[in-house]
């Protein structure tokens, strides 16, 4: 069971924000949601940084 207001809920809310094209098109919004050392690995091995 998920209790509202928990850290988990905040993380899920931020993940959902990142799915919004308006957020993804706003570099400042993305910086606010991702930690400074964020790295993502793409399906064909490219790395993406914040």
Would you list the domain boundaries of the chain? Answer: 7-49
The verdict on pTM exceeding 0.75 is no
Taken as a whole, the chain contains a residue count of 50
Give the residue from 34, 3, 7, 9 showing the smallest Cα distance to 49: 34
DSSP string, 5-50: TSHHHHHHHHHHHHTSHHHHT-HHHHHHHS-TT-EEE-TTS-EEE-
pLDDT tens digit sequence for 1-50: 556 678 888 889 999 999 999 999 999 999 999 989 988 888 887 877 76
pLDDT tens digit sequence for 14-26: 999 999 999 999 9
Please give the Cα distance from 12 to 33 (Å, whole number).
11
């Amino acid at each position: 069971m998920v209790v509202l207001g928990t850290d988990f809920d905040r993380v899920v809310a931020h993940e959902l924000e990142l799915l919004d094209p308006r957020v993804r098109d706003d570099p400042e919004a993305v910086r606010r949601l991702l930690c400074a050392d964020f790295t993502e690995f793409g399906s064909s091995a490219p790395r993406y940084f914040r």
